[in-house]
Structures are given as C-alpha cells and as structure tokens.
C-alpha cells in the first residue's frame, strides 16, 4: 500500500510527501503555495513564468520569482522556446533560491503555443532536448519537465520524448496524459503514465483527474508513478490536500473556511498589491464559498465590492467565529513579508 506521507527525492532535493501542488496560471501565487505546504503538499510550484519576461526584466514577471522561506521545496516553472533566454532565466531561478527549475512543455493555450513554447515543443523533440540539455548544463539545481501526451488526440509522443528529455538531463517528468487538443476535456489516460514510468529511471509525477485519496493511491499503485500532482481540486479547497495525504476526510466549518479565505486575502494583497489582488481574488470567492457552503447571493455580493477590506468585513460578519481562528493562524504563520527573500540585485540588472 502506497504511503502518501513517504518522502522521496528529485536529485538532491528531498520532498516530504507524495503530493505535488500543480503550477496553475492565475492561481499559484505565493499565498496559494504557502497554504498548500501547510495542508500537506510536499512540493509546490509557481505558475509558469515567461523567459522573455525575465530577459526583458519585466517587473511583474520578476515578481513571480520571489521565494518565501516556508514554501521549500519549491519549483519555479519556466516557459519559452529560445534556449539562450531559457538558460539565462534558469540561472536567475537558481539565484533566487528555488529548489527546482521546471520546464513547461505542455501548456495548450494559444498565446503560449504560437510562440513555439509550451505544448508546441512536443512536436519538436530535438529542440525540446536541446533546451533541457542547455539548462541542465547551466544550473546546479535539478531540471524537471511537465508535458502532455502530445499535441493531438491519441498521440503517444510523450513516450518517445520523455526518455530523450531524461537523457538530456531532466531529473523528473510530470505527465498530464491529455493532448493539447483536448485542453481539459475528456479523461486523463493514465495508462500512458504507467508506460512512461516503465521507460525512465527518474521519478514520474502523475497529473490529471486526481482529487481524492483513493484515486491518488490507486494511481500510484497501478502506474508506478512516484507522486501525484493536484491542481483544480485544491482551488479554494486546501482541505482536499489534507484528505489526500492523511485520509482526513471532513467538511470544514464555515468558520474555518472564512478564516482561511481571510488569511488568503491578506497574503494576496501583500503580495500583489490591493489593485491587482482585488481582481485576482474574485474567482476564489466562488471556489471557497461554493458547493453549498454559503448562499450564492452572498458570493455574488462579495464579487462587486470595491476593496478586499470590504470583502473581509463581510466575511467576518457572516462568520464571527472565524475571528479567533484568523488570529491563531496569523500567530502561528509568519507574515509573507517576513519570510519572503529579497531578489538578488543581479536579477534587476544592477550588477
């Protein structure tokens, strides 16, 4: 029987549980990652970061490189198609203190694929292998790759590309066995995960359609994968991570839900600034408060409020018992600005 609390490693990086919190665009901010570590994720990942944005010292892109001391082990995920820019970006990722540099060879979104990045690299194995080799030669931290089964439905390209990437220097592979054409529809074909795990001698992380402990354990047992990656199931529901790792299956109280959301509001506001955080957080209200937890009208009222302070007041008025829980959480967890490392001067181009 697979023990989801059993440690494992990618190269020299030790990971305390078999659960990886997925990199998700527009979701995986530092507040989300730090919360995921508290609830049992052994490894957390940043949302994908543009190598072109890093190369041009885009201020928002550089913001994705801020690392908190309590989110280790952390992978920062990189996308791009130019080996030189990707290599320089990987060096920066190493410099800011990330434990792993993860390469995105699976994103199916048009604005990424049209640049030759993301899932497009599944159709160009030579170029994909060159990128991995260049980065593996340039950094000391392990290089990992997240990929899909292939660009088109029914593709098995991951089974030929995966071993080539390992030969080029990839220390671990994560497979989401849907095609880029499928996007997020249909079912993840984890028979491919089992085949890939049998072909390579590095850890394989299984991704796709994993939302509970029974599925996670079954998948690890039947595929030979080393760990599972959870994404959408954890959106507004960190308790799903706790259930997967420890088997603690329970519906959180209204007070617990509000307390975690209020803490998330505060951390996101610190990280992103009020203006960005106000828009970023709107989708989280439905994720946290939906599924019958709070009335739909209440959620809709929060979305139209002008500030996160107003949202917090409404939440605490609806569940005043959450106030001592928030106070306890803030006493136990250091604030993000106290644990977030400053970016090295060289990242800003100052020398």
CB 205 within 8 A of CB 235: no
Cis amide linkage into residue 73, ω under 30° from 0: yes
CB 257 within 8 A of CB 240: no
Residue ranges of the alpha helices (H) in the chain? 30-38, 51-55, 59-63, 83-95, 110-113, 125-138, 158-168, 190-199, 213-223, 239-246, 254-272, 274-280, 282-289, 296-303, 308-318, 322-332, 336-339
Q: Is the dihedral of CA 9, 4, 32, 53 positive or negative?
A: positive
Tokens 């109280």 sit at which residue? 253
Distances in Å between the Cα of 80 and the Cα atoms of 54, 102, 128, 140 are 10, 12, 10, 20
CB 213 within 8 A of CB 247: yes
Q: Is 158 a catalytic residue?
A: no
Among 68, 98, 107, 204, the one annotated catalytic: 107
CB 243 within 8 A of CB 1: no
**Active site positions, annotated:** 107
């Amino acid at each position: 029987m697979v023990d989801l609390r059993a440690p494992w490693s990618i190269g020299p990086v030790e990971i305390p549980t078999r659960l990886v919190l997925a990199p998700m665009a527009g979701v995986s901010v530092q507040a989300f990652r730090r919360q995921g570590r508290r609830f049992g994720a052994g490894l957390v990942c940043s949302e994908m970061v543009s190598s072109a944005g890093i190369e041009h010292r885009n201020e928002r892109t550089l913001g994705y490189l801020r690392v908190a001391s309590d989110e280790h082990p952390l992978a920062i995920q990189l996308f791009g198609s130019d080996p030189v820019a990707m290599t320089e970006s990987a060096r920066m990722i190493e410099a800011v203190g990330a434990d792993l540099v993860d390469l995105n060879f699976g994103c199916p979104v048009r604005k990424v694929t049209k640049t030759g990045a993301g899932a497009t690299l599944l159709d160009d194995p030579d170029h994909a292998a060159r990128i991995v080799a260049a980065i593996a030669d340039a950094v000391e931290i392990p290089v990992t790759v997240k990929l899909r089964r292939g660009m088109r439905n029914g593709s098995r390209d991951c089974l030929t590309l995966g071993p080539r990437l390992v030969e080029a220097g990839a220390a671990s592979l994560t497979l989401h066995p849907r095609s880029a054409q499928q996007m997020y529809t249909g079912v993840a074909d984890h028979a491919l995960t089992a085949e890939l795990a049998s072909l390579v001698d590095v850890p394989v992380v299984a991704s796709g359609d994993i939302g509970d402990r029974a599925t996670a354990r079954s998948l690890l047992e039947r595929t030979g994968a080393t760990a599972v990656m959870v994404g959408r199931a954890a959106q507004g529901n960190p308790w799903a991570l706790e259930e997967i790792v420890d088997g603690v299956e329970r519906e959180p109280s209204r007070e617990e839900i509000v307390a975690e959301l209020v803490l998330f509001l505060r951390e996101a506001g610190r990280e992103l600034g009020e203006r960005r955080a106000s828009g970023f957080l709107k989708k989280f209200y439905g994720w946290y408060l939906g599924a019958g937890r709070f009335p739909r009208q209440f959620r809709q009222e929060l979305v139209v409020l002008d500030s996160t302070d107003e949202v917090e007041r409404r939440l605490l008025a609806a569940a005043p018992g959450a106030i001592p829980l928030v106070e306890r959480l803030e006493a136990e967890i250091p604030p993000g600005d106290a644990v977030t490392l400053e970016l090295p001067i060289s990242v800003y181009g100052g020398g």
